[in-house]
Structure 1
């Protein structure tokens, strides 16, 4: 393999994964023309066609299929080298790429990041809000805050605590709506998550099986806001109790165990000072917040 081929392989991998030049260009942050020239140069270097080109996009030829696993192996070795070098860092400075869900980001983690920034002004946090599980091993992120029952990836996983889920409503909703509700919660409103077909089983297992499931909201942040605005009741983590004092657990309901909250990071980064400082700080703050929740039903 010629030396300059190393510069072209990322564009080859991007086209193989995206199926088009335009999508590949967006993936690697390059122009359409740059990616196109890279593919042409690589094919010229090897003397073969790596892609079939059609109106539907790009697909690998037999030569491209043969190159793909070796290019992916080279990519992984480069990622591993980067992680190993970064892991030798001993300074409280630099950037950390941190991914988490929007539900936890705005009101739970943002104040923690603000306090961390005051204490460690030379460490920058690049936050990526996504509900997708981003890969630690494939260099998509450095640290991930994730709710899951278990973690099977080959990463360093710090188990923070098990989330507890309760039924919540606003103070006004509890004062004005719950006392006049009919049998089984008739007249009350559930705010749930999008479902396929029949209403979710938790509405039937609750003390309010006759309450109406009127709204279905996939985004946890929006669902929490609607509860805070007295639109209805919903299942939420106890983490939000100290953040939103207007919310109270609905009388007659109990807490149920949810998934565990994990902090994940690449094994080569656990020796990096800036990463260790952030992980320790976030762990302490999240556990403290967890202890201040669960103040009980409204009275």
Structure 2
């Protein structure tokens, strides 16, 4: 959809044959509001998006987009068609999921998405061992902050800290992660910390305070609302801060306990977060997906004490 063409729909006399695949480019542009955003979502360059949208406009003899202060927006003609385009998209995804489920061999790619820290620090080493046991499988780990859409096959399996109520998803609780406070032994040397009342005197490395962040809410309550020295949604960043001696970090117990240079600081009412495994009903019985689902459930059950914090408590100094 080049700028020169955006205002000029072709005549019906020159209508081209419609390519169904062009619909996904139109849908991506309608969602992103820019060529660059649509290109990023689709994994192509922006000129490809423009060209494919131009092609569909030519086939339909309609102008589908116009420019405004809000970016590129659908025209009235496009708005009338978008629901139909979405239904086509949903039908295509359903066919893809059905075909995947019918593949009986233990081969192919299984994509697993999770929060960043959990994916990198917990899932990655364990999934690597599963991949070694099944040479025909390729396990693609997607540790991202965004919630990927399983219905659109952006991933096959999702591990999340919340339970989704989306139609078509099968959800099961896989385990529980506990959070606690950790600081480097070098940082604590010579510093007084006898309980929660002393935390206000220390720099706190905390997750972002959002409505669903139980760990951040907990440390805010412990410190009486003291301003954190460092805030990050990525626990790996807080871990690095603690290892550098920058302060006291809120960390998943399994992550903090893995580092001998850190001391666990017991505090009351440590928060717990459930981990939920999500899979679309259409693909859950595909052998390659089933073997990963079973592995994840068994692994997290085996690691229950690790995820809840198993390191013996050290006497505070």
Q: Give the TM-score normalised by the residue count of structure 1.
A: 0.85
Count of aligned pairs: 293
Q: Quick check: 2:218–2:271 contact (8 Å CA) kept in 1?
A: no
1:239 aligns to 2:246 (yes or no):
no
Q: Quick check: 1:165–1:237 contact (8 Å CA) kept in 2?
A: yes
Question: Gaps (5+ residues) in structure 1?
Answer: none
Give runs of aligned pairs for residues 41-80 of structure 1, distance below 5 A.
41-53=55-67, 57-80=71-94
Q: How far off is 1:209 after superposition?
A: 5.2
**136-145 vs 172-181, which deviates more?**
172-181
Q: How far off is 1:156 after superposition?
A: 1.1
**173-182 vs 73-82, which deviates more?**
173-182
SS in 1 for 2:103: coil
Q: Quick check: 2:207–2:233 contact (8 Å CA) kept in 1?
A: yes
CA distance in structure 2 between the partners assigned to 1:34 and 1:221 by the alignment: 37
CA distance in structure 2 between the partners assigned to 1:201 and 1:157 by the alignment: 26
Question: Gaps (5+ residues) in structure 2?
Answer: 1-15, 211-215
Q: Quick check: 2:181–2:265 contact (8 Å CA) kept in 1?
A: yes
* Residue of structure 1 in register with 2:157 after alignment: 143
SS in 2 for 1:83: helix
SS in 1 for 2:275: strand
1:215 aligns to 2:230 (yes or no):
yes
SS in 1 for 2:245: coil
Q: Quick check: 2:114–2:158 contact (8 Å CA) kept in 1?
A: yes
CA distance in structure 2 between the partners assigned to 1:215 and 1:183 by the alignment: 20
**53-62 vs 266-275, which deviates more?**
53-62
Task: Report the CA distance shift for 1:279/1:248 in structure 2 as closer, same or farther (over 3 A).
Answer: farther
Q: Quick check: 2:238–2:250 contact (8 Å CA) kept in 1?
A: no
SS in 2 for 1:262: strand
Q: Quick check: 1:184–1:211 contact (8 Å CA) kept in 2?
A: no
1:294 aligns to 2:310 (yes or no):
yes
Task: Report the CA distance shift for 1:210/1:18 in structure 2 as closer, same or farther (over 3 A).
Answer: closer
CA RMSD of aligned residues (A): 2.9
Task: Report the CA distance shift for 1:212/1:44 in structure 2 as closer, same or farther (over 3 A).
Answer: closer
Q: How far off is 1:80 after superposition?
A: 0.6
Task: Report the CA distance shift for 1:30/1:203 in structure 2 as closer, same or farther (over 3 A).
Answer: closer
**174-183 vs 83-92, which deviates more?**
174-183
Q: How far off is 1:117 after superposition?
A: 1.5
Q: How far off is 1:258 after superposition?
A: 2.4
SS in 1 for 2:102: coil
CA distance in structure 1 between the partners assigned to 2:69 and 2:203 by the alignment: 50
Q: Give the TM-score normalised by the residue count of structure 2.
A: 0.81
Q: How far off is 1:281 after superposition?
A: 1.3
CA distance in structure 2 between the partners assigned to 1:257 and 1:219 by the alignment: 17
SS in 2 for 1:213: coil
Q: How far off is 1:183 after superposition?
A: 6.3
CA distance in structure 2 between the partners assigned to 1:46 and 1:235 by the alignment: 56
CA distance in structure 1 between the partners assigned to 2:208 and 2:44 by the alignment: 37
Task: Report the CA distance shift for 1:87/1:209 in structure 2 as closer, same or farther (over 3 A).
Answer: same
Q: Quick check: 2:161–2:276 contact (8 Å CA) kept in 1?
A: yes
CA distance in structure 1 between the partners assigned to 2:220 and 2:68 by the alignment: 52
* Residue of structure 1 in register with 2:109 after alignment: 95
